[in-house]
């Protein structure tokens, strides 16, 4: 699966979602960094800044992350507030990566798949 991570792709996707849903603003948009498995270490500066700009324009209310490391969470939080972190968590099939806990005011929305 190909994920939209370029600023242009993300901007286009937000505008397409707004049009498709008939909305003026999206309540929350998660930057999905990987299709599955443990988080990586790639920089989120360009894609998360693009989403932060759309938030500043009033097209997105809140930003979240999916499949990120603690370093990526810290990087994103230096750009804009993060209200949710959605990472893989399955006690029956753990991986060696950290389970990222969001800031006190955020929400953890773990997802799972069969082992």
Determine the distance from the C-alpha atom of residue 96 to the mean position of all C-alpha atoms in its chain, rounded to a whole number: 20
Closest CA to 51 of 33, 71, 70: 33
pLDDT at 14 over 80: yes
Angstrom distance (rounded) from CA 4 to CA 32: 8
For the segment 6-21, the average pLDDT, to the nearest whole number, is 96
Which carries the bigger pLDDT value, residue 34 or residue 55? Answer: 55
pLDDT at 7 over 70: yes
State percent of the chain over pLDDT 90: 49
Distance (Å) of CA 92 to CA 38, 97, 115 = 15, 15, 7
What six digits make up the tokens of 63? 């930003």
Structure confidence by residue, pLDDT tens digits, 28-46: 999 988 766 566 778 999 9
State which fold the 7-108 domain adopts: TIM Barrel (3.20.20)
Q: Where are the domains of the chain?
A: 7-108
Structure confidence by residue, pLDDT tens digits, 77-99: 999 999 888 877 666 666 555 55
What are all long-range contacts of 100-107, with beta carbons under 8 Å and residues at least 24 apart? Answer: 100/39, 100/68, 100/69, 100/70, 100/73, 102/73, 103/77, 106/82, 107/83
């Amino acid at each position: 699966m190909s994920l939209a991570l370029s600023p242009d792709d993300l901007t286009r996707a937000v505008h397409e979602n707004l049009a498709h849903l008939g909305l003026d603003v999206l309540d929350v948009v998660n930057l999905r960094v990987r299709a599955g498995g443990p988080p990586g270490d790639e920089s989120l500066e360009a894609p998360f800044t693009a989403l932060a700009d759309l938030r500043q324009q009033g097209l997105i209310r809140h930003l979240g992350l999916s499949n990120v490391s603690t370093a990526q969470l810290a990087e994103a939080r230096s750009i804009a507030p993060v209200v949710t972190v959605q990472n893989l968590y399955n006690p029956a099939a753990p991986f060696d990566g950290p389970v990222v806990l969001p800031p006190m005011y955020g929400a953890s929305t773990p997802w799972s798949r069969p082992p």
